[in-house]
Amino acid sequence: MDSHTSAGTRTILAVAAAGALLASCAHRPPPKQFTPAAPYSKTFNGSGDTVCWSVKRALLSQGYMLDHANEGGVLTGSRDEQPKPKLNITTHLQTSCADNKNGTSIVFVTAEREENALQKMKQTTSVGVGPATLTMPAGSARVLGTVRRETIKDPNFYGQFFDLVQTYANQERVSQGETRSAGGADRSADRPARLNSEMPQSATSQSSTRSPTSAQPQSQDSPEPRQ
């Protein structure tokens, strides 16, 4: 009697624990789909022209083939690789760049990884016999088909891209600073000519009309005429 009672008690406890577990799973909130900590954007110091050009340089330097943008500030590119003889991986990357009008610019980027592999596909042929149509197998062929496609979520992937954009943005700012300094040196070289052209006309006329030094007076000890 006691053994039956203990077995029944254990069964009831197990059912209660399972019910509690299901209830907790049912009331667990779903993971956040939108969060500020997402790795798909970064703000850079610099104008939109500087940062957006750095984004383009980063894509081109890594072998991405760029497509024509449908709107300003949007760049799309793709890169292929073949790690195995029968596997092709394509990385599609889309960026969007915007000037914040406060000395900074923001860059958004999303990457998608697509895996394509050779697969056997059965081929068929259709033959019409009277009013009916017969479909018969006609062997098989190997075709390249998509086996996996997903959005890349790895923060390290986007961190490396943003670091490369930052490198090119720094180079662009240094280049612009050298250009401005070179222009300032040219203006300083022209400064004497401008100063001469801006000299008052009165000073110039005085220096040009100044009379030469008068001749020295004759000596008072000149000899007397002979008598």
Q: What confidence category does residue 202 fall into, taking pLDDT thresholds of 50, 70 and 90?
A: very low
Residue 211 counted as domain residue: no
CB atoms within 10 A of CB 91: 18
Write down the mean pLDDT value for the chain.
76
Q: Of 46, 186, 3, 158, nearest to 95 (Cα)?
A: 158
Structural domain total, the chain: 1
20 vs 211: CA distance, rounded Å: 117
Residue whose token pair is 């943008």:
69
Mean pLDDT of 169-190: 73
Q: Which residue has the higher pLDDT, 196 or 17?
A: 17
pLDDT digits (tens, 9 = 90+) for 116-139: 998 877 766 766 666 666 666 666
Q: Which residue has the higher pLDDT, 118 or 79?
A: 79
How many helices, marked H, and strands, marked E, lie in the chain?
Answer: 5, 6
Q: Which residue has the higher pLDDT, 68 or 115?
A: 115
Residue 11 counted as domain residue: no
Residue 193 counted as domain residue: no
* Predicted pLDDT of residue 30: 75
Distances from the Cα of 40 to the Cα of 97, 101, 137, angstroms? 12, 21, 48
Least trusted range by pLDDT, from 9-23, 45-59, 157-171: 9-23
Residue 171 counted as domain residue: yes
The answer on pLDDT for 104 being more than 70 is: yes
Q: Which string of b and e fits 180-196 if b means at least 16 CB within 10 Å? A: eeeeeeeeeeeeeeeee
The answer on pLDDT for 72 being more than 70 is: yes
Residue 216 counted as domain residue: no
Q: Domain range spanning residue 138?
A: 35-126+134-182
Burial of 54 (0-12, 13-18, 19+ CB in 10 A): buried
3-state helix, strand and coil shares in percent for the chain, rounded to the nearest 5: 40, 35, 25
Residue 221 counted as domain residue: no
The answer on pLDDT for 61 being more than 90 is: yes
Q: What angle do CA 106, 33, 26 make, to 5 degrees?
A: 170
Residue 192 counted as domain residue: no
Q: Which CATH number do you get for residue 49?
A: 3.30.310.80
Gyration radius of the chain's alpha carbons: 43
Provide the pairing of β-strand 132-151 with 65-66.
unpaired
Residue 208 counted as domain residue: no
For residue 121, report the phi and psi dihedrals to the nearest 5 degrees.
-130, 125
